[in-house]
Chain A
Amino acid sequence: MKLLKLIPARFVIGVVSAVSVVIGAESCAPRPPFRTPIPTPTSGPVTTKPTHPPLAEQTVRSPLPHEYAIKEQDLKTKGSVSSVSPTLGAKEPVRGESRSAAPFSAAPLPDDSSLLAKITPGMAPQRVMSLRLTEEGRKLLDGGDITKALSRFERTIVVDSTNAYGYFYLAKAQYRLGRYKESLNFLDVAESRLSSEPFWLAEVHALRGENFRALGMTQKAEASYNQALLLNSGNRTAKEAMSEVQGEK
């Protein structure tokens, strides 16, 4: 453990970044947008078709260290590097945890944050409702009404459990409340459901970085910000946080 602590954080981040770049370069194929036509509502029961696009072009890669499941002891060990480097005793990923490769994005991705823009004709009503509720919750959250926002976001996943944005915003609300472990838990769920949306995946990584930073786990935070910037160099949260973190050094 002592040996691990001697490894400079910048070196670790450098290794992580290099690995990420290589992975990104392997999978720069454009991803299909997150739009799936859904049957028009009828008087009878409505079927929700799976909303995942085909992933034939995906490349399986080893997850980056910061993507491992966050265990409680990790959160308690501020600045621990034991789980940062995969070669230094970090746990293997959970079986089946084949994360989709993130495309490297040199240029900032277009803003995909509007959930109302994702509503398309013929979309399943529960999906539409869930997106609207998420948007409504987002406004409440921006307005500082976290409790009301949290109730909205909880509703979003009741109405449509496949709404990954709902999980993302639940994480954001928990982060605002200072419940970082809960926030990270919601981010784990959001991440596994947003693997085909680089813009949103970058948001997930950036928020994860914010949580790690708030927990005093600066190295993990930096790795998360880096990952966010790899996915979307225009991610503001990650950009600002990175410059702040580096300024602090």
Chain B
Amino acid sequence: MKKSKLRIFFVCLIALLLVTSGGLVFGAWYLRQLEETVTAKFAGPKWRFPSKIYSDSYLLYVGFNLRLDELWDKLRRLGYYPTRAAPKSKGEYRYQPSPGILEIYLRDFAYPTEPFKGMQVRITLQGSVITKIENSNGGEELFSLEIEPELVTGLYDHTWQERKVVKLSEVPSLVVKAILAIEDERFYHHHGIDPMSILRAMWINLRSGAVVQGGSTLTQQLMKNFFLGDERTVKRKAKEALMALIAERKYSKDEILENYLNEIYLGQKGSQGIFGVWEASQFYFSKSLPELSVGEVALLAGLIRAPNRLSPYRSLDAATKRRNVVLTKLSDDRIINSKQYEMAVREPLPHRELVKITNDAPFYVDFLRRELAENYPNDVLTADGLGIFTSLDLQMQRIAERSLSEGLKQLEETYAHLRRKGEDDNLEGAIVVLRPQTGEIKAMVGGRNYQKSQFNRVFQAKRQPGSVFKPFVYLAALMSGAEGNKKFTPATMVEDSAFTWSYEGQEWQPGNYNDEYFGMVTLRRALEKSLNAATARVARDVGIRRVRDVAHRLGIQSSLPVVPALALGAAEVTPLEVAVAFATLANNGVRTQSLAVKQVMDVKGKMLEKRDVRVEKIIAPPLAFMMNHLLKGVLDRGTGELARRWGFTRPAAGKTGTTNDFKDAWFVGYTPDLLAVVWVGFDNQSKLGLSGAQAALPIWTEFMKRATAGTPITDFVPPPGIRVVEIDPLSGQPATSSCPYTLREVFMEGDEPTGTCPLHPGPALQASRQQ
């Protein structure tokens, strides 16, 4: 009996020893795992930094016609705040309309080529025109001023964590003391967990019957944020405590504190999470940490408990109460004196509007991603915190978005057949806007609704350009004389009648719209009225191969078939290609490379890449000028003249485009400084049934009216070698005093007609003159 009891005892003892040693081994292994996890986090990269995409900066200068509404909007989006008194802090501005004075306290901004230095500026306005810019401190007169670029969006994986990492030494001691006082006052006295604090929290929670206070130390909070979720379970708390103990054993208090100050979540700005004290200081107060007042420091520390509920953007009352709690604590702990307390507690919290980053240019951003993909893989873009500076003009982008969406809606209201219900059968459109002299893409709307379809029609949709292609035929014609072929001028008469073009064993019969033919017409009239038969004749005389070559030289990259129908746009191109090609004309024959990304900067502010403006002279300036002059006629008298009736009166050139089967409607138009291409159609290639003038021109006109409002009016400058002759538009010959209508036509020097109008005999109206 004794023996058996003894055996049982030994078995139990061995089992206990086994279990205990097993437990110890497991515990040691588990602790080792936790330690490895903690070490890996501390030693490796702790955070992912989303790359940020910025718009172009905004240049103001003396004589600049300031669109005030646009400026207010821009300042608001940049997080500037209007004040009644003269601006005292960065990010404030004041406008006094009666003397016309605008004062702005500009912020610092890390721009790749040179940093913007924040300063107080005073802008004097006469009406809306800037007459003087001066630095308020010292009165130094400036001739220009650059407002920093706007943040368009961030490129991130799952969540957008906005954070700037700072060293502990860069954080003012008051900020540190306030956070420690309110979050973990015994931080420098515990080893990761604080039993006193836990007991106090338990007591309070027991009394209130709910979990109202946590006993977590700052180290535990850091471990929770680094590795664990928000669930309130014993397992999680135990793991958190173990990790806190490990961290405290391995790392110094200052290292833990520094990580905490950078890691802590402090608010939400739309899709952007605000993390770390530096970012929070910018978000709530538009100040850097050393600039914070005592009250602001207290609020910042107080926000840690519940950043969204206590946010001053959400409730000034709640934020003020919380701030005052922290101030009392700071005063009680003698971190601040009574005077500081009194001042801070009376400081009112200003009401500020929360301006969320909404990514108003999603199609543009997608385009950028593609442009960047070659040099920067997605993992780099979403983690390395690059600054990507672009050509995007957000104001223009919004105008483009609005013009397109309103225009398409208007079309659907006007034409019942466009209202369709199928998922893939919605009326679609696209706009791309370029600055011809630099190739900068200023705006891009690749479709009607990005949420529904991310297909970017600006550069992904290959569609028939229709008559938009015709200017390439006419340019080839103007160029052909120099190559020993038939010479064409804008006044050359061409026949507009039905004919058959035999080409490499095939026959093609180009027909006019409604089978209406006009007989002998000038080259100008053929282009202005977009006459198919006349254009095809010109293309036949010039040679379709040459037409194709001209289109390629101007910037069309898609392959173009060498067939007669190419003259009328029987090929497939993207709106972006059309924009680049016409920008070459707008830029006096100089082709530019389209430019969306301008600079890329790394997280430390070092410039990684700068993409320069690239130019190449493709056609002689007089030829480009003649084409622009011809295409101005399209807007003044031709198929685009409705734009004039709708109120767009600036000097501009353009061309409508309608495909044979009415599937695509286009308009490309430009001033010397701005070019926009509009395409309208259906993705599934179903019939639109409208011309370019009906569907695309209204959208273009609306965009251009808004985008150019208040900007200087510029015209195409005739280069040397251009002659202007007053001609009769019907005969194409120099006008006589009997001609009922005359037209000032441009010719290459030496090509101008010398006779007089045979249709209206009489004395010559005037001698030709050089431009």
Contact = CB atoms under 8 A, between A and B. Distances in A.
B607 A147 contact: yes
B326 to A, nearest CB: 45
Interface in B460-503: 478-479, 481-483
Contacts of B626: 96
Contacts of B608: none
Nearest to A167: B615
Contact of B437 (A45, A94, A96, A158): A158
B157 interface: no
A69 interface: yes
Interface in A123-148: 124-126, 128-129, 132-133, 147-148
A161 B713 contact: no
Contacts of A97: 620, 622
Nearest to B714: A48
A98 interface: yes
A132 B770 CA distance: 32
B720 A100 contact: yes
A51 B717 contact: yes
Contacts of B607: 147
A95 B482 contact: yes
B616 A185 contact: yes
Contact of A126 (B63, B588, B621, B748): B63
Contacts of B673: 161
A185 B771 CA distance: 26
A133 B62 CA distance: 12
Contact of A96 (B62, B482, B712): B482
Sort chain A's interface into a size bin. Answer: 35 or more
Contact of A129 (B143, B478, B481): B143
Given A50-B715, A94-B482, A196 B620 contact: no
Nearest to B440: A158
Given A43-B128, A47-B713, A125-B64, A157 B613 contact: yes
Contact of B623 (A95, A148, A185, A189): A95
B610 A147 contact: yes
Interface in A153-212: 154-155, 157-159, 161-162, 167, 170, 174, 182, 185-186, 188-189, 192-193, 195-196
Given A48-B713, A125-B62, A132 B143 contact: yes
Contact of A182 (B129, B440, B478, B612): B612
B61 interface: yes
A133 B771 CA distance: 29
A55 interface: yes
B748 A45 contact: no
A151 B113 contact: yes
B256 to A, nearest CB: 41
Nearest to A100: B720
Contacts of B435: 158
Contact of B61 (A58, A129, A147, A167): A129
Interface residues of B, number: 59
B295 interface: no
A96 B616 contact: no
Contacts of A100: 720-721
Given A96-B623, A154-B438, A192-B719, A45 B710 contact: yes
Contacts of A238: none
Given A46-B712, A161-B673, A132 B144 contact: yes
B59 interface: yes
Contact of B770 (A56, A159, A186): A56
A120 B510 CA distance: 55
A76 interface: no
Contacts of A41: 63, 65, 129
A214 interface: no
Contacts, number: 162
A150 interface: yes
Given A60-B721, A192-B588, A148 B114 contact: yes
Interface string A85-125: 00000001111111010000000000000000000000011
A161 B437 contact: yes
Interface in B720-748: 720-721, 748
A42 B620 CA distance: 35
Contacts of B114: 148, 151
A54 B719 CA distance: 10
A120 to B, nearest CB: 13
B620 A96 contact: yes
Interface string B578-618: 00000000011010000000000000000100101111110
A54 B483 CA distance: 28
A151 B717 CA distance: 25
B509 interface: no
Nearest to B607: A147
B620 A157 contact: no
B718 interface: yes
B506 interface: no
Contacts of B620: 94-98, 192
Contacts of B479: 94-96
Interface in B48-62: 59, 61-62
A52 interface: yes
B672 interface: yes
A99 B322 CA distance: 76
A170 B615 CA distance: 10
Contact of B482 (A92, A182, A185, A193): A92
Interface string B106-135: 000000011000000000001111000000
Interface in B416-441: 435-438, 440
A184 B465 CA distance: 33
Contact of A95 (B64, B715, B719, B748): B748
B396 interface: no
A170 B62 contact: no
A46 B65 contact: yes
Contacts of B587: 161
B711 interface: yes
Contacts of B614: 182, 185
B619 interface: yes
A98 B748 contact: yes
Contacts of B610: 147, 150
Contacts of A162: 717
Contacts of B616: 185, 188
Contact of B721 (A46, A47, A96, A185): A96
Interface string B49-87: 000000000010111110000000000000000000000
B413 interface: no
A129 B717 contact: no
Interface string A10-49: 0000000000000000000000000000000111111110
Nearest to A196: B720
Contacts of B617: 69, 185, 188-189, 192
Contacts of A161: 436-437, 587, 672-673, 714
Given A132-B143, A161-B672, A185 B717 contact: no
B104 to A, nearest CB: 19
Given A45-B65, A52-B720, A196-B720, 8 more contacts: A44-B65, A47-B714, A51-B717, A96-B482, A98-B720, A154-B612, A167-B615, A192-B719
21 contacts: A41-B63, A48-B714, A50-B715, A93-B482, A94-B623, A95-B479, A95-B481, A95-B623, A96-B621, A98-B620, A98-B721, A98-B749, A124-B63, A125-B62, A148-B114, A150-B610, A151-B113, A154-B612, A161-B672, A185-B615, A189-B590
Interface of B: 59, 61-65, 113-114, 126-129, 143-144, 435-438, 440, 478-479, 481-483, 587-588, 590, 607, 610, 612-617, 619-623, 626, 672-673, 710-715, 717-721, 748-750, 770-771
Q: What are the 6 closest A-B residue pairs judged by CB atoms, nearest first?
A: A125-B63, A95-B482, A43-B127, A96-B620, A98-B721, A96-B622
Interface of A: 41-48, 50-52, 54-56, 58, 60, 69, 92-98, 100, 124-126, 128-129, 132-133, 147-148, 150-151, 154-155, 157-159, 161-162, 167, 170, 174, 182, 185-186, 188-189, 192-193, 195-196
